[in-house]
Amino acid sequence: MAIIGLSLWAMRYRPTWVAWILYFAFLMCASLFAQLLLQSPVRLIVDTDGILDTGWEIGTVRWVDVDKVFVRDDAGTEVVCILLLDSARLNYRQGTVARKLSEAMRVAGYGDFSVNATRLGIRADDILKLAERGMSAAR
């Protein structure tokens, strides 16, 4: 709302280009807000086929592709980390930014993909047990 007020003020008292810049800034903020409202919440699905986190944007990671699943505790935040047998096979489905982030997370010790269990309100041990069952059933 402040941007609207500034753009109206700028239209009256400042050069027109300032008003247009403020107006476009408002439109960008409004479109981001609309995307956040329309975006589906992050969901985690662990079943016999694999594990799916809607935030990954790659679909279901099959249990046969998973090498290791482990839990990392970072200052009270439980993170379930997933290492893949062949990370390049699934990472190509990600966008450039997501792929770079995934590479950085792997270097930092979080595996190819990670799930913030604390944010989802799920116990990391429960996810780990389901993952171990799925991996053993797939092999």
Domain locations in the chain? 2-38, 44-138
**What is the C-alpha to C-alpha distance for residues 112 and 60, in angstroms, rounded to an integer?**
14
Spacing of C-alpha 75 from chain mean position = 20
Name the residue with tokens 């047998």.
85
Q: What pLDDT digit, counting tens, does each position of 81-132 carry?
A: 888 888 777 766 777 877 788 788 888 888 888 888 888 888 888 888 888 8
The pTM score is 0.62
Please give the residue that has the higher pLDDT: either 13 or 114: 114
At residue 38 the predicted structure's pLDDT band, cuts being 50, 70 and 90, is: confident
Q: Is 106 helix (H, G, I), strand (E, B) or coil?
A: helix
Calculate mean pLDDT across residues 40-68: 80
Name the nearest CA neighbour of 70 among 52, 82, 87, 56.
82
With a cut of 80, say whether residue 52 has pLDDT above it.
Answer: yes
